[in-house]
Structure 1
Amino acid sequence: MSASLPLLVTMGDPAGVGPELIAMLFRDRPDLAQRCVVAGDAATMARARVCLGCDAVAMPLVQATQVAEPAPWGRVSAHAGRAAADCIEWATREALAGRAAGVVTAPIHKEALAAAGVPFPGHTEMLQALAAEHLGVPVARLPVRMMLANPELKTVLVSIHVSLRQAIEAVTHANVLETLRITAAHWARLRLAPPRIAVAGLNPHAGEGGLFGREEIEVIAPAVAQARAEGIEASGPHAPDTVFMRAREGSFDVVVAMYHDQGLIPVKYMGLAHGVNVTLGLPLLRTSPDHGTAFDLAGTGRADPSSLIAAVELAAHMSGR
């Protein structure tokens, strides 16, 4: 990665708040936006600037999708889903080719993606597939993980967008160990000191010695032990109802959570304004704001750009390393 290369910011679902948030970035933080190029639709981005009364603000943009006209605000549509997917694909391929320092993705709508026939439930899976194709390997050979981060807490998830029943089934020795390896590798990639990784249990009180479930004894603890044998500074399984508090107080650098909501609720409870989604395990840098398309706010100019700005700041910091 090079700090001289641009960060590509995808416009997200054109019916949501993404275009407005990007326009606010260029309006309010020109110091940060000077590194950014928008992958989007010119007419959609122009509409966002007019909505905010900042149509004179300069914004480098690549027409990454072909649309007849901007999608109506606040509506799920295949038209909008296709445009969002086109922008993600273009930006990802540019980053994989070494022509960008990283990708910052504005929010997309999963229903719109599905309506457009996009065979991925979200950003993470789409980026993983594009990267695997670029590397010429099966998707299974390129495991990725989602990390949610804010200034006080970082958490990495063993599984992402699956049902709770499937998430429990995904708590295997291999998946937990792989998550620990991917997390440690991310810190090493940024040339940071090895992280102190806390591993949350799956069951209440981390199973209470097997009284409330044996996953901690039979699956999680052996994975932690193997990771430690490989030189990874991991500990646990810790009681999931207290481990996030302990990490916030400084006992750990990051928490590995067993499933989506276990890890994301603590981060999001502390506020969406500074939360950033980082995809670990990809051969490119990708960050994203920690919120959705907010269709109810689209076109009003009242959306809060803080999380997008935080995502760009983190991407700029990480790419600088």
Structure 2
Amino acid sequence: MSITLRGTLPLVFAAATFPGFAQAQAPQFYGALHVSIDQIDSDIDGNSSQLNTSSNASLLGVRSTHRIGDHLSLLWQVESTIDLVNAGSIDVDRDSFVGLTGDWGLFRVGQFDTPMKVLRNRIDLFGNQAGDARNIVGVDGLDRRFKNGIHYRTPVFYGVTANLHYSTNTGDNATQSSDTQALSSSLEYRNGNFWAALAYDDDSTNDFKSYRLAGLYNLGDFRITALYQETDKPGSAASADTTAYGIGLRYKLNDKVALKTQYYRYELDDTDDSNAELAAVGVDYQYAPALLFYANYAFLENDNTYRTAYNVARTASTTTNATIADGDEKPAALSVGAIYRF
């Protein structure tokens, strides 16, 4: 579904004329404008290196809450991806939902990140940048948004939160008999500077089951991150089960500058010579609370696989199987970018 701001904003402001709107929070507009200039080397031939511009998961959204009673509030959100460098359309394709919340937890219906994806979001030091961990851990259809999703999150109980997210149909519209359901769930634990979580996905559409364990620990100026996952594909003899894992380290030099690095590896189980390794290093400069500049270098080595270091959440990407032709290339990217959040 594609819309324009010209058609969207009047609908939002018109809602303010409805009775009872005075008890609702005024719609809040928010977003992230994220662009980068990248030197991308796909390692195909001598002419494979090229300068590119990229819009990296730039987004625009509107949201609000309406307190209905002492223990119940209604909340809604509509969020769109915007392409800042190719004049693309604005699609309602990100986290969009209507829900209820209170001291009993949170209930939502719509399209939004699965608990499995949220785990990776929390620990990825290069999210939406060259070097994004999804170039490794997302290759089995993980890190996604369920369409037709129903989600419940419990209140925090002794640092523990549980999430249950069910999709009645991972495709579009309604279904009566096709087997296209999916389930994603997680348990999270937080205690001071320590956070850890375990997620499980069961996908009928693609016939796989996945487990993911992630954690982070803040120790002074250091942040240490780690992730491990396994994917079981019992219904496809041609697709081997996979394992992926990685670690990351971020160090704050001062209030504005931080150094970061992470390493991730992807393996096809029971296959000795099919794996991929991703390494990334970078520096963040927090110029102002709303504005971040960064410079990254990401490198990936294929061994009979077809991955890149820069394909996820960015307009400057390549179709891996079409461009990483023989499975042994070493694609890389040098990226300088800016993220403005409002």
Task: Decide which structure has the larger Cα Rg and report it.
Answer: 2
TM (normalized to structure 2)?
Answer: 0.27
Q: Which has the higher helix share?
A: 1
Higher RCO (C-alpha under 8 Å, 6+ residues apart): 1
TM (normalized to structure 1)?
Answer: 0.28
